[in-house]
Chains A and B, each alone.
Chain A
Amino acid sequence: MLGGLAAWVLTSPGWPVVRETFFSWTVFKDSFPEVLDGFWLDVKLFIVVEAVVLVVGLVIALVRTSRAPALFPLRMLATVWVDLFRGFPTIILVVLVGFGVPALRLEGLPTDPLVLGGIALGLSYSAYVAEVYRAGIASVHRGQRDAALAVGLSDRQALRHVILPQAVRRVAPPLLNDFVALQKDVALVSILGPLEAFRNAQIIQGETFNFTPLIAAALLYLAVTVPLARVVDRIGGGPEGAVR
């Protein structure tokens, strides 16, 4: 069935044009180094933003799950943060921060589009990741906290040694899922101008009227997201104790 479909496509009269436009080996060869070059920028940005998001998301989740009356204003702030930044389309955040902040012409604010784009992605993804953490914390039975307190741990120690280790282990698959999404959304920063993979591919495509460079960029994303997805599978399929 699939083979038949492939044969039908490959023998159709339009195929040579399709092949030339999307899968041109010469264009691929010529554009690949430049696209790859840009892709390293994506990877670097991804790693930095992800690291920040993992920390900020955890802080927001901890504030949201706290019970101390004194933390009420912070809890409100965290709730608003999540509602806003998870509610906005990421692309709007990127444009707002990336073009909006420099338009303020204020001293001391970053103007590097890469930094601004990273901040926008961080705002958006920290809201998602905070909710993932929060679900994990809520999923740990309250008897665990009781037991931790009963052996003499403080609230903070109970969180650190008993609740968080179990919570994080449980949400590892959805956290990795958000990794994959962020890895792709890094391409949104191209709107602001940095010469990352998608941007480079688009420039070459504009010059050559050939879409192969975009295929090259897409393949590079796949090269990262597919292995990540396999890691998600492995963790999601194992017993709770398997992830250490």
Chain B
Amino acid sequence: MKTNSVLEKVFASGAFAVTSECGPPRGAMPEIVREKAEHLRGYVDAVNVTDNQTAMVRMSSFAASVILKQIGLNPVLQMVTRDRNRIAMQSDLIGAYSHDINTVLCLSGDHPFFGDHAMAANVYDLDSVQLIQTVKEMRDNGSLQGGAKVDNLPRMFIGAAANPFADPFELRVARLAKKINAGVDFIQTQCIYNLDKFEKWMEGIRERGLHKKVSIMAGVTPMKSEGMAKYMKNKVPGMDVPDEIIKRMGGVPKDKQAQEGIDISIESIQRLKAIEGVSGIHLMAIEWEQKVPEIIERAGLYPRPDVA
């Protein structure tokens, strides 16, 4: 084992892994973090804590991860390179590891343009691939990015994102290979609605044996309504929502659409589970954490393995 990460242990056990997400609130409200996270207890192996997602100021990922740790859950510290330089990010990694946070997801982050601080400076001292390298150097060589050897550097299980639906498609397998070259251990993908295209991407992954070098978790987000499906299709960058999904959501009465969205996500999980090279799912139930238990149970992923 490279780390103490529960997620690493689940992958090592051969079990199909499950992670979910907890978005910190826009204010000092630790009770909201606890409330959201409690819905997930026992149903997931680890919980991603987003880092100022959509470039909106929120409680820091680090602080919310500590709250999760305090109530006995396993946070995945999301870290975007948008807001902090390499000094601040390494400092936060050391801080997080001092609180036994041992799993990190390295991201570039949504551009500030999309949030409510579009006037902010864009840092991007590192990109996500360089952050993966930095975290790996800390763990495997005991050195900081600047080269100094230091005792007790964090031993993090390293994650990153992949979006099989962004353009150019032909480059998307090579991009994953690049993250593997940088030292990534696991991947969580963008929300998958176009399963045919995802399967095509996975074919490319398998052809090169990349699924044996990295654990791939397929991203799933249940839709709450036809309106949300349309919004995701038209407004969210890098999202591929086929028209059939929108039609199916629109084909049931408004008060039944949420249930339809959940049914679609469970069907997707069943199909994703069967794809060779997919090692888990990342269930992003956005502001809908209370539905995670139902989805996980009905998808046959409950109970979770005891690897501790």
A and B pair up: no
